[in-house]
Amino acid sequence: MAVYNRTASKALAWVALNGNRAAPTPAEAAEGASIVLLCVGNDDDVREVVLGEGGCLAAMTPGSILVDHTTASAGLARELAAQCAERGVGFVDAPVSGGQAGAENGALTVMCGADDPDIYERVEAVVAAYSKRCRRMGPVGSGQLTKMVNQICIAGLLQGLAEGVAFAQRAGLDVDDVVDVIGQGAAQSWQMDNRASTMAASEFDFGFAVEWMLKALGICLDEAARNGARLPVTALVEQFYRQIDQRGGTRWDTSSLVDLLQHP
């Protein structure tokens, strides 16, 4: 295995812990690989790493597969699939859910788009090493569209949980006691189980950052503008995250929505 990171020190640190080798460019990391997996920031970052100078696609051979784990647009996925096809390279868009903890514990959920089911099956065997669930959702772009649904659902859920926590605090209730009771009923969610107490304590250092949520919700809203979907709650929560960002919470995790309610 060869690894590349745009911050070379991160790749070297990973190799020091896990072995294998670090490569100075995406192309050198991809050379001779049967499967190349990437996860970067946004659409332009993906284009740079795949198609830019020293990009990985130029070094990939026919029959190999490029897998993009970045949360990006469905349009980019189709663009990359076309570029890969010209070189005889397979492509899978495969955004993930589970955050930093999911990645570190090998428990990510991976939603995939692939035109060829056989290509997906080859990828699935590799992705199984760091995921708890992986599924082909349809042709190229379907993985990104599924991730958009994921972010839409999380945005509304987190805002509801933030309002519940803030309400409980102002009502003089013990948040942990409240969650212990209502968490056994219809209100239960992963976010409630894992973030309600930290929300109440104003602790926002748990992985997926506000800046990345803003990126993801922007992608959702752009896609909705194209397909005619109505996302009123998502649009409102995106504005709340912008306010968190303006407060200096760019690197706070997504549960920080409660800060707007605790400190209006």
The DSSP bridge pattern shows strands 21-22 and 131-138 to be: unpaired
Query: Is 132 one of the annotated active-site residues of the chain?
Result: no
Backbone conformation region of residue 209, classed left if phi is above 0, alpha if psi is from -120 to 50, else beta: beta
Nearest CA among 94, 45, 43, 42 for reference residue 211: 42
Q: From the candidates 10, 132, 147, 215, which is the catalytic residue? A: 147
Catalytic positions are 147
